[in-house]
Amino acid sequence: MDKINNFQINNNLYLDKTKGKELETSGDKILKLVSHCVENIQEKAEREVPENGKFTKLLVGFDIPETQNEAFIGIEHDELNPKDTRRVAIHARRQNTDKIFSNYIFKGTKKEILEYFKAPERKEEIYEIVKNLSSKVDSSYT
């Protein structure tokens, strides 16, 4: 599993180098992290997801800013039809815990999944799902 280094991304994307102040809201940060993860999982899927058969689940994740939570985008084969069906899921959990909240968001062939990630609205959709799942995680620990 790849986990995006939140500290490194914060230093590279969010800080005004001349003033050292944060320029974006938490939502903006999460959207940028989601965008980076979508690009990363798409590249990994092109290389590592076979057209047919079972394969090891791919996960790319990040720490959700201003929370104790982390989110993951995952691609795995479908257990009922592993021959050529793949599933995309979003997962969120409290860091260092086992309780996971997930949404399966797409099911299709490798080609269909790669096309799914290319849609311009996809990153915003995934961002909304991450926010909702993170809220559910927070609710379960209060």
**Average pLDDT of the residues in 9-21:** 40
Question: What region does 66 belong to: left with phi over 0, alpha with psi -120 to 50, or beta?
Answer: left
- pLDDT of the residue at 12: 38
For residue 36, which of 130, 133, 128, 123 has the smallest C-alpha distance? 123
**Average pLDDT of the residues in 46-54:** 96
For the question of whether the overall pTM of this predicted structure is more than 0.85, the answer is no
Contacts of 9 (CB under 8 A, 6+ apart): 32, 33, 36, 62
pLDDT band at 19 (very low <50, low <70, confident <90, very high): very low
Q: Is the pLDDT of residue 22 over 80?
A: no
Residue 73, beta-bridge partner list: 60, 90
Range of the domain at 57: 2-140
Q: Work out how many domains the chain is built from and give that number.
A: 1
- pLDDT of the residue at 78: 94
How many Å from the N-terminal Cα to the C-terminal Cα in the chain?
28
pLDDT band at 26 (very low <50, low <70, confident <90, very high): confident
**Average pLDDT of the residues in 6-18:** 38
Question: Is pLDDT larger for residue 24 or for residue 130?
Answer: 130
* Three-state secondary structure call for residue 112: helix
